[in-house]
Structure 1
Amino acid sequence: MTLNSGCRAEGKTILVTGASAGIGYFVAEQLAAEGADVALGCRDAAKADLAIQAIRVRVPAARLRSVRLDLADLSSLPATVDALDVERLDAVVLNAGILLSGPERRVNAQGHELMFATNHLGHFALVAHLAPMLAAAAHSRVITVGSFAARSELLDLDDLQSARDYRPKRTYGRSKLAQMLFGFELDRRLRARGADTASIIAHPGGALDSLTPSRPPLFVRTTAQRLRGLPAGVVLHGKHAGAQSIVRAILDTESTGGQLWGPRVFGLRGRPRRETPHAHMTDLEAADRLWAASVALTGVDPLVRPATPLRK
């Protein structure tokens, strides 16, 4: 990927959540290639080690480390931030997420629906705990990784956790919409406070494994997979290409708080460009109610430094 001049990342420390696979892996690889110190936030330490091995094959001088991160367990986040052991953080990429396919509604240790808890609440709380480090870095950024799935969903603010009507794909789409609402609302609140941190939203478009190059020992694309994916390459792209919108949002000096970045061709494939968000992604009333509910559910506020342990 070629960014505008002045967009290299030497000296920057960046945390990428969910960096052991998919989009998150390629974000970490591309940031390492641009010279960043990259922390891979991963639930599985063995997979994180494989990701680091794969990156170093392509970027031998990469500055990498991993921290254990389980966004589904809110009580574990303070320990993750302590393990990060940095005084300042130039950016955090809120990428990790899960999509469940089974019909059973699952909950985390705090009793919250698992997709909403992992994709939204965990990131909401993580930003709260990282706030002092983000504030210590000049022009720091919070990058929320959105999804096409959020375009066709609306939040049920009276049933955020799908307790009354659970449908996996819809619940996933709503959790990603909640993430994006949070990203836009975070920037509004940061601007109102005169903060130097910017919140930017980016999405990878239509990114398929079959169009993604191998990264052994982490991921190997077979010849059969490549051939099956060729027709889709007309309108979609691989995860390495999908990561470019996110990296652009992090490093490009032309990107600013409150923007949405995605692929150029119908938002599905191609080089990054700025997009106009759909109205329901920036709804002020919905965002305000979601923020209040998220504070109540997590026990922390991204704009108020945590003073007490997270709720269990």
Structure 2
Amino acid sequence: MPDQTGRFVFVTGANSGLGFLTARELARKGAAVLMTARDEGRGQRALARLKAELPDAAVELRRLDLADLDHVAAFADALKNEGRPIDLLINNAGVMMPPRGLTRQGHETQFGVNHLAHFALTLRVLPLLSMHAGARIVTVSSELHRRGRMHFEDITGEKSYGRLAFYAQSKLANALFALELDRRLKAANLPVISVLAHPGYSDTNLQTNATSGVLRLFMRIGNRFLAQDAEQGVLNQLYAATAKELRGGEFIGPDGFREMRGSPSLVHPLPAATDTALAARLWKLSEDLTHTRFPVFAERAI
């Protein structure tokens, strides 16, 4: 990984799993890192653990509740008021296969947290990312995006909800968003790129924290016997975040069988993820649901 000294990095969901490892390794390389967590206590414990390992790391923690779009907006506004340029945003936080629930604004939880919140957050802090050349946005999807389809006719899952189906939908939405975002950034001639990553099947607490019963048991068995460790899985988003040769629009994932494990490599998304008409439809829906628009800049960054 190249030296990250002088870069300001913002990682969502950094209190555990891949988010924690991402924050730790970027801090180890010299970046100033803003960690966020929904739960203040867990976030503080993660911060203490990181500082114990890297006492000189420039790391701070702030609470961010991605299940509340009003909180996302207030959080982004506070960052913009501070005016500090962001060099790297990693949209990492997520929930996986919980029972059907709704966010504070009434959106299905997985779609709301995994996609809508990151859509709104990214567009709201884009002025900070565009303040100088070389900024980057990494959105973490999943190999399971390949099983996804957009349930536009039942986006909240009120009529028919399946944990896996709606998780896969949220991960397909991540892919559609990140690729469409890169197209729009290039069309606007902004000095920011958008890159996708997925960790393969990595052993983290994401698979077991939100699940229950037989599904939790299945996940525990899979984590033990099929998954690669999180230290290997995180290399994909770290590569997406720091590799100098990336130009935007790439998807980074493991090079092993069915992209479940292995070393970071360029992978191909589900063809639906590159469908510009589908991406435009999702973008419009996301704008309407989050009341967020792609910013119009009076001046372009140099």
- TM-score bracket relative to the smaller structure: 0.7 to 0.9
Query: How far is the alpha carbon of 1:147 from its aligned partner?
Result: 0.7
Matches of residues 290-301 of structure 1 in structure 2 within 5 Å?
290-301=282-293
Structure 1 residue aligned with 2:233, among 206, 221, 242? 242
Judged with a 3 Å threshold, the aligned counterparts in structure 2 of structure 1 residues 289 and 229 are, in CA distance, closer, same or farther, namely closer
2:89 matches 1:92: yes
8 Å CA contact 1:125–1:302 kept in 2: the answer is no
TM-score by length of 2: 0.87
8 Å CA contact 1:120–1:175 kept in 2: the answer is yes
Whole-Å separation in 2 of the counterparts to 1:14 and 1:96 = 15
Structure 1 residue aligned with 2:270, among 275, 278, 282? 278
- Shifted more, 164-173 versus 51-60: the winner is 51-60
Mark the runs of 5 or more structure 2 residues left unpaired by the alignment: 206-220, 298-302
- Shifted more, 191-200 versus 45-54: the winner is 45-54
2:43 matches 1:48: yes
Which residue number corresponds to residue 71 of structure 1? 66
Query: How far is the alpha carbon of 1:250 from its aligned partner?
Result: 0.9
2:147 matches 1:158: no
**Structure 1 stretches (4+) deviating beyond 4 angstroms?**
228-231
Give the AA of the match of 1:300: T
Judged with a 3 Å threshold, the aligned counterparts in structure 2 of structure 1 residues 49 and 166 are, in CA distance, closer, same or farther, namely same
Whole-Å separation in 2 of the counterparts to 1:97 and 1:135 = 25
Give the AA of the match of 2:229: G
More helix, by proportion: 2
Structure 2 residue aligned with 1:189, among 181, 184, 190? 184
Which residue number corresponds to residue 171 of structure 1? 166
1:259-300 deviations in Å (ceiling 9; x for gaps): 000112132222211112221111111100000000010100
Query: How far is the alpha carbon of 1:229 from its aligned partner?
Result: 8.1
Whole-Å separation in 2 of the counterparts to 1:290 and 1:304 = 20
Structure 1 residue aligned with 2:3, among 3, 8, 15? 8
Which residue number corresponds to residue 209 of structure 2? none
1:189-235 deviations in Å (ceiling 9; x for gaps): 1111111110000011110149xxxxxxxxxxxxxxxxx88973xx5
Whole-Å separation in 2 of the counterparts to 1:75 and 1:51 = 25
Structure 1 residue aligned with 2:34, among 36, 39, 62? 39
Tell me the secondary structure at the aligned position of residue 137 of structure 2.
strand
1:92-128 deviations in Å (ceiling 9; x for gaps): 10011112433xx321121111111111100000012
- Shifted more, 83-92 versus 16-25: the winner is 83-92
TM-score by length of 1: 0.84
Structure 1 residue aligned with 2:107, among 102, 105, 112? 112
The alignment's C-alpha RMSD in Å is 1.9
8 Å CA contact 1:128–1:304 kept in 2: the answer is no
Which residue number corresponds to residue 255 of structure 2? 264
Which residue number corresponds to residue 219 of structure 1? none
Query: How far is the alpha carbon of 1:15 from its aligned partner?
Result: 0.5
- Shifted more, 296-305 versus 11-20: the winner is 296-305
Tell me the secondary structure at the aligned position of residue 71 of structure 1.
coil
8 Å CA contact 2:91–2:140 kept in 1: the answer is yes
Q: Percent identity?
A: 35
Whole-Å separation in 2 of the counterparts to 1:132 and 1:37 = 19
8 Å CA contact 1:8–1:251 kept in 2: the answer is no
Query: How far is the alpha carbon of 1:239 from its aligned partner?
Result: 1.2
Give the AA of the match of 1:63: A
The number of residue pairs the alignment matches comes to 279
Whole-Å separation in 2 of the counterparts to 1:10 and 1:208 = 30
2:103 matches 1:101: no
Which residue number corresponds to residue 81 of structure 1? 76
8 Å CA contact 1:124–1:302 kept in 2: the answer is no
2:14 matches 1:19: yes
